[in-house]
Amino acid sequence: MRHALTRSLTGLLLSLCLSVPIAVMSSAPAQAADTVPCDKNGTTSADAAIATQLNRQLTGRMRDSMTAYRVSCARVIIATVKSRGLPIRAAQIAITTTIVETTIRNLTYGADDSVGLFQQRPSQGWGTVEQILNPVYATNKFLSKMLQFDWRDDPIGQICQQVQVSAFPEKYAEEAGDGVAIANAVWSMSEPAELPSNSVTGDSFTDLLAVDAGGTMRLYSNNFARDDGRPWASAPREVGHGWGGSTRIIPADVTGDGFTDLLAVDAGGTMRLYSNNFARDDGQPWGSAPREVGHGWSSTTRIIPADVTGDGFTDLLAVDAAGTMRLYSNNFARDDGQPWGSAPREVGHGWSGTTRIIPADVTGDGFTDLLAVDAGGTMRLYSNNFMRDDGQPWGSAPREVGHGWSSTTRIIPADVTGDGFTDLLAVDAGGTMRLYSNNFVRDDGQPWGSAPREVGHGWSGSVRILA
């Protein structure tokens, strides 16, 4: 990703000295349409007060340039950092980056196709324009890449450059002092933000879908925060019929809009996409007719939904009888609504020896990891960081992260608590469901370290439980 410095209210002369394409500079007139709000509720009097305070303290590019709007953007960045369980240093790095890239503005333009606070580019896999202009999404994408590096110890300017790969790497170090000051001033006024996620209702808490023997599907909605830590507290409701005719039902955010779609594979191997936009369709998921999106899936022993590439669109992993795994990449926006349009490629072997393969973003970096459970109930974590590892997922050796999983009839990956780290739900033969919470950062890289707790009963009556 190549980033160029965007215009500053007080630094036009500096910007003109940089290699920003003239067409970009001249095509973005200084008007309100150049920016979009960071906080959908606008700015506050506290934002304005902090801006006044900071204008007397800052020494770099932002001196006398802080506004209530810029503080609101910093506030949303920090809230997102807090939602990931990360410390203030992560916020200092992120805000320093936005000073250089956009002077802390959510811009609708930039060099080439760059947009947003961090000037991320859709053409380089950072997401769609709409996604990148969502500051929570954009900040999470930045943080996910930042976590690949030694961000706790290396200089702030160096970390910014490692993430952004700018043509002007020295600029970040020059603004690090102001980035630290702004983060420190705004930290205490920011509440954790709601993380974008993949759920039926489109919030950050994973819902459950239960299909009974007659093919009726019921939605168990989850709002962990609203319901005082009790997921699926409200009664389920029917959201569909006729699902008994599908040999496989796969939950996946195919369209990348944050709402869980469904993929149904019939006995002949034809795959159909049931699109879901819970908000648009007045709370009725999968209300429109399905459409065919593939054939030949009956030859695979397993189909695993996983955002392997970290672009917000769910890819598919197919494992054949010999244990070879192939990646079917999906970028719904780039490929004109045709998921998995390109040829698959092999990404692993030897998977036939595992009794279960579970997709889960264990590390919270936006790339789906894999959990493999063997016949003895030992669980191993195959970490994935697609960007860091040059497009080769699960390149490092796995490590054990648990034992005793053979006694559970079902293991369901779900971000129940909405913190960006995938939790696990275990259902035993009696239908009791237990929640194994995961916060990889907080717990020093040991997922599900605390004791599980019961979160439901009666799940043995469902032939399928989807998350």
Rounded-to-integer distance, Cα 178 and Cα 159, Å: 16
Please state the φ and ψ torsions of residue 128, each to the nearest 5 degrees.
-80, 165
Residue 6 pLDDT more than 50? no
Mean pLDDT of 178-200: 77
Q: Strands 464-466, 208-211: parallel, antiparallel or unpaired by DSSP? A: antiparallel
**What does the pLDDT read at residue 148?**
82
Taking only the tens place, the pLDDT of each residue in 353-375 is: 899 999 998 887 778 999 999 99
160-164, 187-191, 449-453 — most confident range? 160-164
**What does the pLDDT read at residue 27?**
33
**What does the pLDDT read at residue 5?**
32
Rounded-to-integer distance, Cα 315 and Cα 438, Å: 23
**What does the pLDDT read at residue 387?**
61
Residue 192 pLDDT more than 70? no
Among 389, 299, 403, smallest CA distance to 344 is for 299
Catalogue the long-range contacts made by 379-387 (C-beta closer than 8 Å, 24 or more residues apart): 379/403, 379/405, 381/447, 384/308, 385/148, 386/308, 386/309, 386/310, 387/145, 387/148, 387/310
Confidence of residue 333 (pLDDT cuts 50, 70, 90): low
Structure-token pair, residue 242? 């006729």
Average predicted confidence (pLDDT) for the chain: 84
Structure-token pair, residue 125? 């896999």
Residues 6+ away with beta carbon under 8 Å from 435: 231, 416, 423, 424, 425, 452, 453, 454, 455
Residue 314 pLDDT more than 80? yes
Taking only the tens place, the pLDDT of each residue in 406-417 is: 889 999 999 888
Contact between residue 188 and residue 445 where contact means Cβ atoms under 8 Å apart: no
Percent pLDDT > 90 in the chain is 54
Residue 223 pLDDT more than 80? no
**What does the pLDDT read at residue 304?**
94
CA 324 to chain centre: 27
Among 314, 319, 264, 255, smallest CA distance to 294 is for 264
Contact between residue 418 and residue 398 where contact means Cβ atoms under 8 Å apart: no
Q: Which of 55-59, 99-103, 215-219, 307-311 has the lowest mean pLDDT?
A: 307-311
Rounded-to-integer distance, Cα 420 and Cα 195, Å: 7
**What does the pLDDT read at residue 1?**
35
Q: Which comes out higher in pLDDT, residue 164 or 288?
A: 164
**What does the pLDDT read at residue 30?**
37
Contact between residue 74 and residue 4 where contact means Cβ atoms under 8 Å apart: no
Taking only the tens place, the pLDDT of each residue in 240-251 is: 899 988 999 999
**What does the pLDDT read at residue 9?**
29
Please state the φ and ψ torsions of residue 401, each to the nearest 5 degrees.
-130, 15
Contact between residue 154 and residue 146 where contact means Cβ atoms under 8 Å apart: no
Mean pLDDT of 71-88: 88
Contact between residue 100 and residue 172 where contact means Cβ atoms under 8 Å apart: yes
Max distance between CA atoms of the chain, in angstroms, equals 71
Confidence of residue 337 (pLDDT cuts 50, 70, 90): confident
Rounded-to-integer distance, Cα 286 and Cα 295, Å: 21
Contact between residue 70 and residue 98 where contact means Cβ atoms under 8 Å apart: no
Q: Which comes out higher in pLDDT, residue 51 or 19?
A: 51
**What does the pLDDT read at residue 175?**
96
Return the bridge partners of 453, or none: 435
Q: Which of 191-200, 226-235, 268-277, 393-402 has the lowest mean pLDDT?
A: 191-200
Mean pLDDT of 422-430: 93
Mean pLDDT of 300-327: 90
Taking only Cα atoms into account, the Rg of the chain, rounded to an integer number of angstroms, comes to: 23
Mean pLDDT of 294-309: 91
Taking only the tens place, the pLDDT of each residue in 373-393 is: 999 999 999 998 766 667 788
